[in-house]
């Protein structure tokens, strides 16, 4: 799984980023991966412009983008410094995407799963109760796509992400929909650890089927319980392959 796949899932494929965005992403990756440590000064405009082969104005725009995402702090006379991780805009789509370049730490995985357990069971319940026919059709189509692409890790994860995305959207809550990047990041991160063998995909299809069936039946309680069961399974798989991974119940 890769950063590019995250952007594809966010419907940004086919869009060629400008120079400032490209430099912003490269610097962002270096910050997230720890190449530039928290609290460290990064190179000045002149050095960065030479390194990336762009103008200083491009560098300044890139820095502004990273400041807006909470990754950098610019102070006149003292340079540009990497901010502490607790100050980063962790829900920003770019910041989530850049984490695909990092070997995930147990605490980061746990926090992603915490977020999923907060969001998705209730989203499934609301999708069952309030979902429109169009939204329900999208859920069914994504589940069918998962089943037909179980032999391909990448095609499967795209269908899996679309399945969860369609549930968030069917829930009819704009705030949930705005957080779908968290789900994409969690899926891409966890599946590359737990589903290296395509046969692993077959094992999770019945869990998704149970979620879909409850939603299509309009059974909000069963939908919430089925989603919790699915997330419990994901948690157990991560615990089996990631040393030190412990999630909250």
| CATH T-level fold of 3-87 | Arc Repressor Mutant, subunit A (1.10.10)
pLDDT at 201: 78
Instruction: Judge contact between 203 and 236, C-beta under 8 A.
Output: no
pLDDT at 10: 79
Residue 174 has pLDDT above 90, yes or no: yes
Alpha carbon distance 50, 8 (integer Å):
31
pLDDT at 141: 97
Q: Whole-number mean pLDDT of the chain?
A: 90
Superfamily of domain 103-241: GntR ligand-binding domain-like (1.20.120.530)
Which residues is 72 bridged to in the sheet? Answer: 82
Residue 169 has pLDDT above 80, yes or no: yes
Q: What tens digit of pLDDT does each residue of 179-236 get?
A: 999 988 888 888 778 776 667 778 889 999 999 999 999 999 999 999 999 999 999 8
Mean pLDDT of the 132-152 span: 94
pLDDT at 68: 97
Q: What tens digit of pLDDT does each residue of 12-50 get?
A: 555 567 999 999 999 999 999 999 999 999 999 999 999
Q: Do domains 3-87 and 103-241 have the same CATH topology?
A: no
Mean pLDDT of the 100-111 span: 86
Residue boundaries of the structural domains of the chain:
3-87, 103-241
In the chain, % of residues over pLDDT 70: 96
Q: What tens digit of pLDDT does each residue of 86-102 get?
A: 999 999 999 999 998 88
Residue 1 has pLDDT above 60, yes or no: no
* HEC per residue, the chain: CCHHHHHHHCCCCCCCCCHHHHHHHHHHHHHHCCCCCCCCECCCHHHHHHHHCCCHHHHHHHHHHHHHCCCEEEECCCEEEECCHHHCCCCCHHHHHHHHHCCCCHHHHHHHHHHHHHHHHHHHHHHHHHCCHHHHHHHHHHHHHHHHCCCCHHHHHHHHHHHHHHHHHHCCCHHHHHCHHHHHHHHHHHHHHHCCCCHHHHHHHHHHHHHHHHHHCCCHHHHHHHHHHHHHHHHHHHHHHCCCCCCCC
Alpha carbon distance 40, 130 (integer Å):
49
130 or 197, higher pLDDT: 130
């Amino acid at each position: 799984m890769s950063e590019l796949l995250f952007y594809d899932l966010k419907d940004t494929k086919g869009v060629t980023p400008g120079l400032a965005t490209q430099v912003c992403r490269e610097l962002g990756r270096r910050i997230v991966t720890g190449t530039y440590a928290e609290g460290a000064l990064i190179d000045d405009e002149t050095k960065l412009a030479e390194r990336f082969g762009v103008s200083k104005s491009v560098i300044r725009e890139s820095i502004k983008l990273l400041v807006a995402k909470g990754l950098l702090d610019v102070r006149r006379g003292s340079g540009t410094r990497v901010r502490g991780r607790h100050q980063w805009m962790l829900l920003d789509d770019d910041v989530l995407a850049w984490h695909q370049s990092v070997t995930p730490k147990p605490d980061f995985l746990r926090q992603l799963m915490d977020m999923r357990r907060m969001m998705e069971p209730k989203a499934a319940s609301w999708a069952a109760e309030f979902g429109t026919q169009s939204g329900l059709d999208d859920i069914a189509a994504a589940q069918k796509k998962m089943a037909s692409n179980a032999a391909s890790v990448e095609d499967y994860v795209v269908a899996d992400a679309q399945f969860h995305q369609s549930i968030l959207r069917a829930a009819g809550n704009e705030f949930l929909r705005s957080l779908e990047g968290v789900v994409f990041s969690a899926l891409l991160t966890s599946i590359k650890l737990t589903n290296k063998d395509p046969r692993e995909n077959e094992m999770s299809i019945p869990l998704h089927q149970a979620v879909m069936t409850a939603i299509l039946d309009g059974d909000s309680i069963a939908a919430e319980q089925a989603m919790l069961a699915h997330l419990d399974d994901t948690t157990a798989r991560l615990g089996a392959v990631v040393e030190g991974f412990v999630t909250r119940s």
